[in-house]
A and B are shown apart, each in its own frame.
Chain A
Amino acid sequence: MTFSAGFLEVLVYGSIAWCAISVIGLGVTLVPDIARGETW
């Protein structure tokens, strides 16, 4: 029994999209912290 091409596709595209969302999410999360002066 082997992993299908569809599964590999979901895994690869999903992980790359997830990383891209993380970059944007981190940037977006920093903005309100900066605005409130609560970065650290």
Chain B
Amino acid sequence: MSDSETTAAEAPQVAAEAQDAAPTETPGGSSPTETPGGSSPTETPGGSSPTETPGGSSPTETPGGSSPTETPAAPPRAPGPRSRGSAQSGSRHRDARRPRHRRPRLLAHRDARRLLAHRDARRPLAHAPEVSTDVAPTRRARRRPEPKPAAEVKETQEVEEPPPKTPSESTVSQAGWGYWGSWGKSILSTATSTVATVGQGLSHVIEKAETSLGIPSPTELSAQVEEEEKQQASSPEGDASSETDGAVGGAMGMFSSLTSVVQSTGKTMISGGLDALEFIGKKTMDVIAEGDPGFKKTKGLRFHNSTLSQVLREAKEQEELQTAEGEASDSEKKVVAHYGMLFDEFQGLSHLEALEILSRESESKVKSVLTTLSGEERLQLRKELESIRESFSLVEFDDEDVDEQKDEDGSEFEEELTKALDGLSVSTTAGKLSKACKSASSLISEMSRPEEEAEAGEELVKKTASVEEVHAAAIRSLAELTARSIELFHKLAEMILFSSGSTEAGVLSQLTVVLCREISLLSKKFTSCLTTAGSNEKRDVLNPLITGVFLEASNSASYIQDAFQLLRPILEISHIQRTADSAEQ
């Protein structure tokens, strides 16, 4: 476990880099715009964007409440219940134009949810490592809380060494940070530098929490998987399927090896860490409120309804913009994988938009039906709707609920998918999804093929498997799988709306669980590939890439879960129609 200490030592280093980076960027006299989302057509996103000005970043914030040991003493729970309340009110408030509000709020919300989950006694401790390794990045990733510093790092690099001359380290790290940065810009486009410091503090906390639990770094984790995979794959048959099995087996091994660690450290540590996160979430809010005059201005609009597709669209636009610029200035940056853009390429955004339309219309139909009813009828319907609602709110998507001993590759996923979708007549879309999944699986097994197998003619292929390429493949696969999942939910919504049969919420939540688990599994396999490909790379090159994959995986999972939630009004109106139909007969 000595490696994990090294990682921990590096974390502040990265943070320090970001801070160092901050002052070098000149605000350039550009006046910070306060119009949220009011980017003028002339705006250039390069480094001159006024919103990026890191004017007075206060580095003292960073270590502030970041030590996990402090955290149990600081458990302000305010953000949690509040955001839960807003979630229950039905509409999910996500305003693309006010990202800085969304971030802490959502963070707090998710944390609160997880906090509850983790305090729940029925959750076996043995699954805890999964929480720490996978969910920690998840939490960090929610709505991209962290990328602000990343964006700064990247920009500074651009300032200091405009065209990276070699495709070596600097490029690599740019690739990794680059796309973080793009998210950073889009999501935090109006946030001021205070956010950066808080963000660092947050990552710091997570890192610390990880180390104090004795949890290895992402690199280490995937290395472990790799090792165990090798052991298993050393058996004679080298065909793809057995390799995939090997990878999964390896992942299994990882969990069991971690179990003991966590059992000894115990639950209090974890919930302590979560308290810390929640605290940070709250603190972020406060700091933003204090440090940003624009906050008050926009506060009134805060609950202005916004949609998931809007958020994604904004993110994607920023990425496109960056790509367009990057192309002109820097051909080396081609490898940068843009999740949002890829997601759109697979029509994920369009399907999401369509799903949102259906969801919104159903929601308003349900409301209007409720207003037309009175007395007993209304009470009865309310009760029925409540039970539908419950089955949507009680779903726990975390991996811990799933039997980890289960082996999975593309085909097993397909099986489960078919089972979950039995009788829902969306086979075409489900087929697309399975294909996407299988293609990702085969990509992984090809990439993780041992050196010797890449014989004549394939040597070239093997050589091109650089970390950036593996990373790009990972991001692309995640984007495709997510887009197809959203498409599936959209198709399901359509089928539910025009068919008179009843669809159980339980089936849909099961489907969501299957999808999220697949995403998580894929991300683990890809990071293990990354570790293999990057065995000669420096840690600070590899780590951001690995974290990036985990980040996108957790984002994927939350998009899928959000899409699942969009189905609730659709089931409600379907239920109402069905009831009305049977009453007529």
A binds B: no
**Chain A residues within CB distance 8 Å of chain B:** none
**Chain B residues within CB distance 8 Å of chain A:** none
